[in-house]
Structure 1
Amino acid sequence: MQSLSHLVAIVGPTATGKSDLAVELAVELNGEVVNADAMQLYRGMDIGTAKLTPAERRGVPHHLLDVLDVTETASVAVYQQQARSAVEDVLARGRTPVLVGGSGLYVQAVVDDLTFPGTDAQVRDKYEQELVRVGPAELHRRLRELDPVAAEAILATNGRRIVRALEVIEITGRPFSANLPKPGPPRYGAVLVGLDRPVEDLDERVDRRVTQMFGAGLVDEVRQLANVGLRRGRTASRALGYQQVLAELDGAGDMATAAAETAKLTRRFVRRQRSWFRRDARIRWFDAANPALASDVRTLLTT
């Protein structure tokens, strides 16, 4: 099938089958995949992020997988530059770029005019300490007073984003919402495809996936990464599954508890992802359980 001259973005919550669909579409549309999962940026974080194996990638080139060490902090601003460069390179070679992932801010950084102000370590540290002391709800209340538009766009449970918004407001003297993307057509003529399932199905799939991850050696993967500095990584050490295993390695060593906590927090994360993506009216939604999913999406993209 002929390549498309625009970007395809496959988005939605965890455990909907986005990666498999992205590969299938890339095979059919002469495409290449661009990763938009923040934790799949990390080398060695394979089992716990459900990263496709080389065999599962079916020979399709994948961009922005395995580009960071676990000690490095992921930056959306840096990702934006690298992902846009990858998309533009794929288009320039006459192939179809397929952006795929459930990290909403990373997807938005590619398809929307999202700008990233500078940072001030001292100011950020102040708000991070407050986050620990009073919790995200109180900081979100403060953000709502300073910048109601930003507060509406940022979930009250997302402590890191709230801290970032307060930091930007303090160091720029401008509302954080001034940096948020304005509604409009997505970059690269992107067609946004959303995959979803009923919440009960997603919960079951998450539980099954977590069981499979622990059975496939997640604990050994975390041990190996701990040896190369995982605990020092501000972003990687907080990844779902990795944080819970680290806590048990440093504590009672009860991996059944780590698995149960990972599943519980992942189910919660799925709900936040759904809330994030459902706010974007440009996304065309598909039932990920439909056997005709790939065919239906292909029809959307080629007609």
Structure 2
Amino acid sequence: MKKTVVAIVGPTAVGKTTLSIEMAKAFNGEVINGDAMQVYKGMDVGTAKITSEEMKGINHYMLDIIPPDEDFTAADFQYNVEKYVNSITAKSKLPIIVGGSGLYIQAAIYGYSFSNHKRNPDYTAELERLVNEKGAEYLHNELKRIDPHQAHKIHPNNYRRVIRALEIYETTGTPMSDHHKHENKEPLYNIFFIGLEMERSILYNQINKRCDQMIANGLIDEVKLLYDKGYEKSTAMKAIGYKEFLSYIKGEQSMEDSIELFKRNSRRYAKRQYTWFKNKMNIQWYPITPDNASESFRTILNDLAGVVGVK
């Protein structure tokens, strides 16, 4: 019998964390982080990482597990999700995955195969050299040539995913998009996807306010501390909320321009998150506003009670 798992997804700043705590309390659950950046130690403010107080005694997993100079792939995420789903279920508790990293969550739920695609360190180093010398756009254009379908799904600036797609083609002779066609179409778990959606202008206002709050909470100091520790070149520091303020810290951009770029990139990311989740997964969407959040959460918990049971 498949294990039952709930996943709470949606764009940044929509209210996923608050709902997850309410759900965990209602259904004897524990939370698995589904945000690719919250795995990093020391990246707290800029990732909107849940605080100990906000957890309200609910166990959380896959937070603060690696330093910012280590890579954390979708395969790593998949492995950890399986481990924690098994351990949480063994305690007769409900695993609740919460986050907005669509590819990672999809890979974990559907059991995508990564182990068959071994890396060639020399080829990877060559691709990274090309990024440094000719820019991410050059590599993305190369992916367009061999796998236009996959190139369309990957933003040119996300050069790590571009490199991975090129590696798969190099080692297998087959485009990554062809490999995806043969991936498991059935989820590994008895999965219930809960999506939170907010009218675009309201969401963007929430995002702008959250960005201001992050800055007030010490985001720039957090970025500077990571910069001083030598993490500037790490993949983690290319995350929204960090890359924008590196330019300010290095004296290359004004504070005002950095803040505006931070907000704009956050809004654009939310739009991409919506597109991903609505195109890739079978999700039950619930509308939410800042004023009716409690009412929406009650509706969600009532709907879920009939399928996962109540504590």
Is the structural similarity TM-score above 0.5? Answer: yes
Deviation of 1:97 after TM superposition, in Å, equals 0.4
The alignment covers a number of residue pairs equal to 298
Alignment CA distance shift 1:226-1:142 (3 Å): closer
Q: Is the 8 A contact 1:114 1:179 kept in 2?
A: no
Q: Which amino acid aligns with 1:92?
A: A
TM-score when scaled to structure 1? 0.89
Deviation of 1:157 after TM superposition, in Å, equals 6.2
Question: In structure 1, what is the equivalent of residue 72 of structure 2?
Answer: 74
Could you list the structure 1 runs, at least 4 aligned residues long, displaced by more than 6 angstroms after superposition.
none
Deviation of 1:60 after TM superposition, in Å, equals 0.4
Alignment of 1:5-24 (within 5 A): 6-24=4-22
User: d(CA) in 1 for partners of 2:85 and 2:121?
Assistant: 31
Q: Which amino acid aligns with 1:120?
A: N
Deviates more, 1:203-212 or 1:293-302: 293-302
Deviations along 1:85-124, one digit per CA (max 9) or x if unpaired, are: 0111111110000001111111112101212222223323
Question: In structure 1, what is the equivalent of residue 162 of structure 2?
Answer: 162
Match 2:49 to one of 48, 51, 63: 51
User: d(CA) in 1 for partners of 2:195 and 2:245?
Assistant: 31
RMSD: 2.3
Deviation of 1:161 after TM superposition, in Å, equals 2.1
Deviation of 1:69 after TM superposition, in Å, equals 0.9
Q: Is the 8 A contact 2:136 2:156 kept in 1?
A: no
Task: Please give the secondary structure, in 2, of the residue aligned with 1:56.
Answer: helix
Deviates more, 1:253-262 or 1:267-276: 253-262
Question: In structure 1, what is the equivalent of residue 122 of structure 2?
Answer: 122
Deviates more, 1:199-208 or 1:146-155: 146-155
Q: Is the 8 A contact 2:154 2:162 kept in 1?
A: yes
Task: Please give the secondary structure, in 2, of the residue aligned with 1:38.
Answer: coil
Q: Is the 8 A contact 1:115 1:179 kept in 2?
A: no
User: d(CA) in 2 for partners of 1:293 and 1:120?
Assistant: 49
Q: Is the 8 A contact 2:111 2:184 kept in 1?
A: no
Task: Please give the secondary structure, in 1, of the residue aligned with 2:4.
Answer: coil
Alignment of 1:1-303 (within 5 A): 6-116=4-114, 117-131=117-131, 133=134, 135-136=136-137, 139-140=139-140, 142-151=142-151, 153-154=153-154, 158-180=158-180, 182=183, 184-232=185-233, 234-252=234-252, 254-289=254-289, 290-291=292-293, 292-303=295-306
Q: Which amino acid aligns with 2:25?
A: V
Question: In structure 1, what is the equivalent of residue 309 of structure 2?
Answer: none
Task: Please give the secondary structure, in 1, of the residue aligned with 2:71.
Answer: coil
Deviates more, 1:242-251 or 1:56-65: 242-251
Deviates more, 1:16-25 or 1:173-182: 173-182
TM-score when scaled to structure 2? 0.87
Deviation of 1:256 after TM superposition, in Å, equals 2.5
User: d(CA) in 2 for partners of 1:73 and 1:235?
Assistant: 7
Task: Please give the secondary structure, in 1, of the residue aligned with 2:95.
Answer: strand
Q: Which runs of 5+ in 1 are unaligned?
A: none
Alignment CA distance shift 1:44-1:12 (3 Å): same
User: d(CA) in 1 for partners of 2:281 and 2:62?
Assistant: 27
Deviations along 1:262-287, one digit per CA (max 9) or x if unpaired, are: 11111111111111111024111111
Deviation of 1:211 after TM superposition, in Å, equals 0.8
User: d(CA) in 1 for partners of 2:42 and 2:277?
Assistant: 28
Task: Please give the secondary structure, in 1, of the residue aligned with 2:274.
Answer: helix
